[in-house]
Amino acid sequence: TTNGHTDSYAKTEIIKEIDGNSSAINEKEDKEWTPLSWRTKPIRQGVVYDDQEHLQRVLNKLQHLPPMVTPSEIHRLRSQLRQVALNKAFLLQGGDCAELFEYCSQEPIESKLKVLLQMSLVLVWGSRIPVIRIARMAGQYAKPRSSPTEKVEGKEIISFRGDNINGYDPSDRKPDPERLLRAYFHSAATLNYVRSIIGSGFADLYRLSDWSLHHVRSDRTRQEYQTIVDRLTDSLDFMRMIGADSPSSPLNSVDLFMSHEGLLLDYEQCLTRLLPDPETGEKKWYNVGSHFLWVGDRTRQLDEAHVEYFRGIQNPIGIKVGPSMESNELQKLLDIINPNKEIGKVTLITRYGADQVEKYLPGHIQAVKASGHIVVWACDPMHGNTRQSSSGVKTRHFNSIIEELSKVIRIHKNNDSQMNGVHFELTGEAVTECIGGSMQLADADLALNYKTFCDPRLNYEQSLDVAFLIAKYHEK
């Protein structure tokens, strides 16, 4: 699936564009890397646009738009992830599988922040260490697809590839460069609102008395959750009493970082800027479109375009690791992405499936140990556990998600390692996309409010269920 990206028009035009920076590029140790060097490599999941001039106009515009995040924020996250890798903090990453432009609206943004904050509060309580929160948000638009086309109402049409490429509506499947600009502005508007409400104080979102546990069907589980909530309430009251929730405390000024899969390199390249390292003043390349980017399980080939792009930026990087990853491939990948072996620069997001994790994770842990890299180990218990429901829609069973999580915790322990974080697809809304959880959603319930355009997400209650279960696990 290589494509028109390596067309010479694009290379020469964009090299001309960034020519002003060429002296800085030459000063870099690695002379070969530039924000565009990925164009010399084969690419998977690439996009071919009919109107190349239109694409070029869009890229030129994107390149002049201001950063959405700053190097100092990126370094702040890097130092926090270092703590995570050293087992001194825990990572919670979550959000939609695919954001749509229409999710850029007050309510969906607020409800996603609320669920992430509440989960993190439960996790802090359970693990007794700080929780670093990263949302899949403000740019999580492009999706890798297993097939370039799909059958819709009997007709074979181009697959939906995410709002920054084409439209979900079957009549709107042709890739449109204008959508890259719309992606920037929707990301910026989302981030702007997130910053506003964080800046306005988040303590209210922590208000525990608002947490309804009515959905929990089992008396025993509800009792257990209530115990955690009560004890959390006591701790928070105590902190308020002694003034530990003053404006400088983490309760009122929470950190929340943004992330997305760095799939659409046309876009990422334009948001890659040469800026001073806040500590040393030395100019380095930062992706200023998000704090954290990850490379997907389908696009992480050693000698191809995505890995070439990822090796050049200062942002902390996630790598999805599934059953097809070979141990020596993983070692080489770490050396390419993180040649200086910086602690916590790379987060390995493992996603094997509950019935496969025992086969692959121990080997991967051993390979990383042998490599000398110290990574963040995050468990994504979603992507290896996707199934067809009886009605033919994609779903995930809550039990498989919990099973993979608990196996990952145990396997790390047995291998003298530690699970440092979790990665979920979730939403703050009352969707019915995953089966099970304390509300015991059944197959037949999926039709009630199945809204995802991509993978099935945990709903608000299921997300809290997961957090409570992890907290309980830590408590033991």
Interacting residues toward ligand PEP by CB under 6 A: 97, 144, 296-298, 320, 351, 383, 455
Among ligand PEP, Mn ion, none, the one that 99 touches (CB under a kind-dependent 5 to 8 A) is: none
Which of the choices ligand PEP, Mn ion, none does residue 461 contact, using the CB cut-off of 5 to 8 A by kind? none
Residues in the chain: 476
Q: Which of 263, 333, 256, 345 lies closest to 97, judged by CA?
A: 263
CB of 96 to ligand PEP, least distance (A): 9
Q: How many CB atoms lie within 10 A of CB 405?
A: 22
Report DSSP letters for 146-158, one per residue.
S-SEEEETTEEEE
Is 455 annotated as contributing to ligand binding? yes
The reply to whether 136 sits in an annotated binding site is yes
* Residue 48 Cβ vs ligand PEP, minimum distance, rounded to whole Å: 21
Name the minimum Å distance from CB 321 to ligand PEP: 8
The amino acid sitting at 469 is L
Angle CA 288–424–354, to nearest 5: 135
Q: Residues near 314 by Cβ (< 8 Å), separated by ≥ 6?
A: 71, 74, 75, 78, 277, 284, 285, 286
CA distance 425 to 422: 10
Phi, then psi, of 349 in degrees rounded to 5: -105, 100
Q: How far is the CB of 422 from Mn ion (least distance, A)?
A: 15
Contact 371, 327 (CB under 8 A): no
> Which among Mn ion, ligand PEP, none contacts residue 73 (Cβ within 5 to 8 A by kind)?
none
* CB closer to ligand PEP out of 262 and 296: 296
The residue with its CB nearest to ligand PEP is 296
Closest contact distance (angstroms) between CB of 97 and Mn ion is 3
The answer to whether 386 touches 396, Cβ cutoff 8 Å, is yes
Would the annotation count 97 as a binding residue?
yes
351 binds, among Mn ion, ligand PEP, none (CB under 5 to 8 A by kind): ligand PEP
Residues lying near Mn ion in the complex (CB under 5 A): 97, 455
| Cβ atoms of residues 133 and 92 within 8 Å | yes
Closest separation in Å from C-beta 386 to Mn ion: 8
Residue 320 annotated as binding site: yes
Based on CB atoms, which residue is closest to Mn ion, 99 or 461?
A: 99
What angle do the packed helices 327-337 and 357-371 form, to 10 degrees?
A: 50
Give yes or no for a contact between 116 and 94, defined as CB atoms under 8 angstroms apart: yes
Q: What are the beta bridge partners of residue 423?
A: 93
Distance of CA 442 to the CA centre of its chain: 28
Nearer to ligand PEP, 112 or 273 (CB): 112
Nearer to ligand PEP, 296 or 316 (CB): 296
Kindly tell me which of 296 and 436 has the beta carbon lying closer to ligand PEP.
296
Q: Closest CB to ligand PEP among 83 and 385?
A: 385
Binding residues for phosphoenolpyruvate: 136, 320, 351
Binding residues for Mn(2+): 97, 383, 425, 455
Binding residues: 97, 136, 320, 351, 383, 425, 455
